[in-house]
Structures are given as structure tokens and as C-alpha cells.
Amino acid sequence: MKDYYKILGVNKDASEEEIKKAFRKLAHKYHPDKGGDEKKFKEINEAYQVLSNKEKRAQYDKFGAGGFDFDSFGFGPFSSAPFDSAEGPFGEGIRFDFGGEFGDLGDIFDAFFEGMGIKQKRRTYQHGADIQIVQEITLEEAFHGAEKHINYRTAVKCEKCGGLGHDPKAGFNQCGVCAGRGEIKEARKSFFGNFIQIKSCHQCFGTGQIPKKICEICKGSGRITAERTVKLEIRPGIDNGQIIKIKGAGEAGERGAAEGDLYVRIRIKPHPVFKREGDNLIIKKDVNIIDLLLEKKIEIPTISGNPEGKQSSYGAGFLKVEVPSNFNLKNNLRIPGEGMPRFGGHGRGDLIVELEIKTPKKLSAKAKKILEELEKEL
């Protein structure tokens, strides 16, 4: 005897909601159109049809599957269940006729029809598409923040008709294709059998009416192709590859529908001096061994400048830093708070200096003597 509770993986005292939840999970897993086991899928559906119905479930609990009369409940192969009723078992928009092979499959279609691309509600207008573009900026602009004006060609709202695609004052005629209903029936075949799908009328776009006067500029679409300019605010600390969304700056929708969005991907140009890693900046600096021995301060370029407003040979501000005594020259010198701003946060990263030690190319006799004396001193 089949144990329907075991098939669905629920307890005998499971609630209707628990049974439905278990069924939908298994329906997703074993549905044939998704590569599942057809035999297992039918078994799961059979169990659900019984346990989801109070009368069927009571009879099953009393007599078991062996004494269960499926045909008396409209579940067998000669079922007369009202699949072609006015409302349809799956709500407004789609009606199905499966010949009774699987019984009432409303919950099955709730579980996976969206993944099959079939919509239960018609869409009258086409939403404007999203747009993605790339905006290149310098590392300095990423540091300080910037304001950019972006120009691009896209579908924009027709000014002549205000995006409607027609002149509403001229009036309308009833659509001859759908007879004013705004929807048409389309018969299709599927794994479950034949079904009739209710779709938006392609002639009137679901309105049931045909405008008497179509806009001569946009030819009824409500939009035209034109140049568009938007202002882009770039916040300090933005990273390479980050995306900024500008709502409503994408394509205009058809016949007054909503606009899409604009997604701007930031690309930061390579910098001749600094290399960025997260919020830190890395720079290579040549230093003279003699300067280090004499404890002279070394000049380090910074991206932010300095209070005195001086400029180094790198074209940026700089700091004068003293290398600490007993410093291991194999290590990098870290200057806290001189990196990039933390995007959306507080403070800045660090400036990491990779020291490259340079020795004199040739020493004079006098220089050698001085170094020898220095060696004795050390």
C-alpha cells in the first residue's frame, strides 16, 4: 500500500500548509521538464491530490490507498473536473485541459510555471530596457570625487504625444482582433496536454481600443531614438568596477510605460605613480643609501597633496618622511592615512612605500676612505 505521507515526507498530523510546502519542493525537484523523474513526479502529484483535499484525506486515513476510489473524486483517467470552467482552476488568464491524467494541477503550475516563462497576468505595455555603459575616470577623480555629464543615444519619450503614441482627444475605435476584450486565446501543447493561454492582444496591446490618430513622430510607440544627457555623481573612494545606478535613465517605455534604469560601470585609468589595492596605495621609491645613513628625510609623493601646496617631480603633493632607525630595508614603509578614502565610510587607507636602495656607481678614493672610517666607527 502506498504511504502518501511518506512520499511527501510529512507526518500524519501535518497541516495543509506543510503538505503544500513539501509538495512544491518535490515538484521542483522531480518535474520532467527540469530533468526529473516522471514516474516519481506522478507519484508525488497523486499523493498531494489526496492529502490536500480534506474529504480525500479523510477517506485515505480511514481505508488507505487500497480502498480509495479515485474516480469518485474526479481524479481518475475519466475525470470530469472543471478544467475548462469560466474562471479556470488556475485563476484569471490561463485555462487548461489535461484530460484528467494528473487531476487538479493548480499547485504544480504555481510551483514551476514562472520558471517556464508563462505569465498568468497579461502585460499591456513594454517596460523600457535597462542600459549599461562604462565611464572612465582618473585615480585623482576617484580620490576626490567628481561630477560627470554622460551622453548616450537611447529611446526617449516622444515629446509630441507625451509618450502615449497617439492623440487621446481624437478618440478610439474598438479593436477588431480581440473585439474590445484586450486579450486573445492561444492554444498550445505541453507535457501535460493541451492548454489555452490568454494573452494580451497584439493589435491593441491589451487596451481593447485602437487610437483614431497615431502620432506621426513616433508612429504609435510613444518613444523615439535621441541623444540623452545625465549627470553622474561620483563619490570619493569609489573602486574600479563599481556600478552606479541611475533610476529612470534607461530606455523610455512603450506607450507611456515606465523607463528602464541606467547602470554606469566605473573604470579607473592606470596611474603612472600609484598602484591601488583596496583602500591602500602602493608606490615604489628609489632611495640613496648615503641619504639613509645620514638620516635624511625622503620625499614621498601623495595623491592628496600637502598643506604647503608644494609639488614634486611627480606632479602631485608630497610628504617628507624619515626612515626609522634600525629599519629593515626589506620591509615596506607604511604611512597611515595617506591612501584612498573608504567608500561610504570614514577615514582613509594607507600609503605603502616599496623602497628600492640605490648605491653610488663609482666611489672616489676620498669617499672610500671615509666609508672605511665609517665602517670602523659602526
**Each residue's pLDDT tens digit, 308-362:** 334 444 445 778 888 887 788 788 889 999 999 999 889 999 999 998 887 777 7
User: For the residues 285-289, what does the mean pLDDT come to?
Assistant: 83
Longest Cα–Cα distance of the chain, Å, equals 116
pLDDT per position as a tens digit, 211-228: 999 999 999 989 999 999
pLDDT per residue over 89-135, tens digit each? 333 333 333 333 344 444 444 445 444 444 444 445 578 899 999 99
- Terminal C-alpha separation, the chain: 96
Distances (CA, A) of 352 to 282, 288, 314, 331, 349: 5, 18, 16, 10, 10
For residue 27, pLDDT over 90 is answered with no
Asked whether the beta carbons of 27 and 108 are under 8 A apart, the reply is yes
For residue 49, the tally of other CB atoms under 10 A from its CB is 21
Identify the pLDDT of residue 76: 38
| Dist. CA 103–CA 79, nearest whole Å | 7
Distance (Å, whole) CA 332 – CA 280: 13
Percent of residues, the chain, with pLDDT higher than 70: 77
Mean pLDDT of 261-290: 92
Model pLDDT for residues 41-57, shown as the tens digit of each residue: 888 888 888 898 888 88
pLDDT of residue 73: 40
- For residue 208, the model assigns a pLDDT of 87
Place 265 in a pLDDT band, splitting at 50, 70 and 90.
very high
Residue 118 confidence (pLDDT): 44
Residue 245: per-residue pLDDT: 94
Region 4-30: mean pLDDT is 89
pLDDT of residue 337: 92
Question: What pTM was estimated for this model as a whole?
Answer: 0.57
Count how many residues are written for the chain: 378
Q: What is the spatial distance between Cα 9 and Cα 321, in angstroms, rounded to a whole number?
A: 70
* Helix ranges (DSSP H) in the chain: 4-8, 16-30, 38-51, 54-63, 106-112, 139-144, 289-293, 365-377
Q: What is residue 200's predicted lDDT score, i.e. its pLDDT?
A: 82
Over residues 263-282, the mean pLDDT reads: 94
β-pair partners for 183: 200
Residue-level pLDDT at 65: 60
pLDDT score recorded for residue 213: 93
CB-based contact 199:95 (threshold 8 Å): no
Instruction: Compute and round to an integer the Cα radius of gyration of the chain.
Output: 37
For residue range 147-203, list pLDDT tens digits in order. 999 999 999 999 999 999 999 899 999 998 888 888 888 777 766 566 777 888 888
* Whether residue 205 has pLDDT greater than 50: yes
176 CB-contact burial (10 Å; exposed 0-12 / middle 13-18 / buried 19+)? exposed
What was the pLDDT predicted at 122? 44
In single-letter form, the type of residue at position 133 comes to I
